[in-house]
Structure 1
Amino acid sequence: MAALRSEASIGTEVPDRYLVQLCKQFEHSISATYSGSKGRAEFEFGHCTMQASKRYLTLIVEAEDEQSLARMQHLIGLRLERCMWREKPVINWVRST
């Protein structure tokens, strides 16, 4: 499906907690699932997979075009900033193949 992809890894002491919070926020408006250390959110214009490791929450967004990719990065960033407001996360999206 997706032709474009970008990734961000955010350092935190509790990545699994933020993965669950992010998925629960998304559940109110789109299809979102999580289990253990993995999560996925399905947008009309792409999707985001999430992985919690020992010290990082990794987000991978995939979309068909630049506009959709940028939109997903923006929306996911806003939601993550709400979840992690105490930590003030730095989200650096890196284009991957």
Structure 2
Amino acid sequence: MESVAHVATERPARYLKQLCQHMGRKIQADFTEDHGKMVFPYGECELDARDGELVLRASAPDEDSLAKVEAVVGHHHLERFGERDGLVVTWQRV
């Protein structure tokens, strides 16, 4: 299963780096200036920094695992990191 979120931000590369560095303390997380990938035991998330947005692509083998990736990446981390900038993560199932 897969889902995608397009998060509007003027600083997509900054959030990509911050999220991957933070998560990399507990899971495998690799990143460049404009692309990142985080591998959880229950799924993964790829990140792409584009002009004016951070694109998140979550994938997992089942509905519950996908929901967990979405929650951890979106609500529990990225929205908190970007609270001052008003970041909102809205996932769309593919």
TM value normalised by structure 2: 0.95
Q: 2:9 aligns with which of 12, 15, 23?
A: 12
In structure 2, C-alpha distance between the alignment counterparts of 1:91 and 1:35, rounded to whole Å: 21
Where does structure 2 lack aligned partners over 5 or more consecutive residues?
A: none
Root mean square deviation of aligned Cα: 0.7
In structure 2, C-alpha distance between the alignment counterparts of 1:36 and 1:85, rounded to whole Å: 22
Q: Is 1:40 aligned with 2:34?
A: no
The question of whether the paired residues in 2 share the 8 Å contact of 1:6 and 1:62 is answered with yes
How far residue 81 of structure 1 moved from its aligned partner, in angstroms, is 1.5
The question of whether the paired residues in 2 share the 8 Å contact of 1:25 and 1:79 is answered with no
Partner of 1:86: 84
How far residue 82 of structure 1 moved from its aligned partner, in angstroms, is 2.3
Q: 1:69 aligns with which of 62, 66, 69?
A: 66
- Comparing 77-86 with 62-71, greater Cα deviation is found at 77-86
Partner of 1:95: 93
Letter in 2 for 1:12: T
SS at match of 2:48: strand
What is the aligned-residue identity percentage?
37
In structure 2, C-alpha distance between the alignment counterparts of 1:13 and 1:71, rounded to whole Å: 27
The number of aligned residues is 93
Runs of 4+ in structure 1 off by over 6 angstroms are none
How far residue 90 of structure 1 moved from its aligned partner, in angstroms, is 1.5
TM value normalised by structure 1: 0.92
SS at match of 2:44: strand
Where does structure 1 lack aligned partners over 5 or more consecutive residues?
A: none
The question of whether the paired residues in 1 share the 8 Å contact of 2:20 and 2:31 is answered with yes
